[in-house]
Amino acid sequence: MNAAAAADLAHCRDAIRTGSHSFHAASRLLPARVRDPALALYAFCRLADDAVDEVLDKATAVLRLRDRLDAVFAGRPFDAPADRAFARVVEAHAMPRALPEALLEGLAWDAAGHRYATLSDLRGYSARVASAVGAMMCVLMGVRDRDTLARACDLGVAMQLTNIARDVGEDARAGRLYLPTDWMARDGMDVDAFLAAPGPDPRVAAQVRDLLGEARRLYDRSEAGVGALPVAARPGILAARHAYAGIGGVLRRQGHDSVSRRAITSRNAKLGWLALSLAQSVWITAMPRSPILHAAPLAETAFLVDAASDPRPARGGWGEGLIAVFATLEARDRTVDGGGAAV
């Protein structure tokens, strides 16, 4: 690795150390050949998410990300460490373009203020903002097997559902809602009234419980794929799995209240999950392969499995769905620039 590449990677490492403690801790258990490109991948994805989440003009932020991703796949990344590092990863690993595009589509949905009517809709969102990253991690490991990819995508959805369950109150106070709106209608809740004055509610707690139940089902399914990963990569993936599942455990202990309280895991708990992951990565080798490994992918993640299992080089441009979202965001951006109110 030349000095410029090493400097870019060091910048990515610092960004992850301060921006995602759980991933940074888990990444230390990955072998160097996977850890370094994973840091570059995760830094680009994390900074992309922050670029949209932390600004008021989300439409402009997503459109700039579109341009950044175009530049990466054209081999002319923007002059930024994370972009340059990610461009090297794309080239070295023949990263399917559809995978980071899926992530960008999820971020575009956020910028457009999408809400999700059903649990299936929410899984579709989670596939884009989380499972796409899991599929890209598999590509970095040289894993293109469809069954293993499907289980990695299960893990991504489970982790995102856990994030959503943890952040209900924080999201609501920012005017965002990810709980399925048909659950709220079923429980006699008015979405706008909840967002106007979010507070502890046993109905919301029950919905958080149900969301964590779905996450737990998918965590269990995902473990069947760990034994199919390279041996040296297993502890890091298991550590990420246990760290995120541990958030669900904290939520359960606080009565599934994520509106007035935030679930925080302790340093000792994190160390315990790291130790568990190291031990589990050893004994999982001796265990017979679970038939769950061969379960069909979730309907909402099947497109990611299709993309990641294709070993041909990345090609093509934006899909029709993304083009439509971009058109909506561009129209909104023009309206704001013209001095009117965003619609």
Which structure tokens are listed for 157?
A: 């959805």
End-to-end CA distance of the chain, in Å?
A: 48
Q: CA 182, 192, 323 angle in degrees (round to 5)?
A: 70
Which structure tokens are listed for 283?
A: 């004994």
Q: Which region, left, alpha or beta, applies to residue 317 given φ > 0 means left and ψ of -120 to 50 means alpha? A: beta
Determine the 3-state secondary structure of 290 from DSSP.
coil
Report all structural domains of the chain as residue ranges with CATH numbers, in order of start: 3-337 (1.10.600.10)
Total H helices, total E strands in the chain: 17, 0
d(CA 308, CA 138): 8
Q: What DSSP state is assigned to residue 289?
A: P
Site of tokens 């899909």: 319
pLDDT in tens, the chain (343 residues): 788 888 988 888 887 776 566 565 666 777 788 888 888 888 888 777 777 777 677 788 888 888 999 999 999 999 999 999 999 999 999 999 999 999 999 999 998 899 999 999 999 999 999 999 999 999 999 999 999 999 999 999 999 999 999 999 999 999 999 999 999 999 999 999 999 999 999 999 999 999 999 999 999 999 999 999 999 889 889 988 999 999 999 999 999 999 999 999 888 988 898 889 888 888 887 778 889 999 999 999 999 999 999 877 555 565 666 666 666 666 666 555 554 433 2
d(CA 144, CA 139): 6
Q: What DSSP state is assigned to residue 97?
A: T
Q: Where are the alpha helices (DSSP H) in 112-196?
A: 119-126, 132-140, 146-166, 168-173, 181-186, 191-196
Give the DSSP per-residue string, 207-265.
HHHHHHHHHHHHHHHHHHHHTTS-GGGHHHHHHHHHHHHHHHHHHHHTTT--SS-----
Of 176, 138, 141, 177, residue with least CA distance to 154: 138
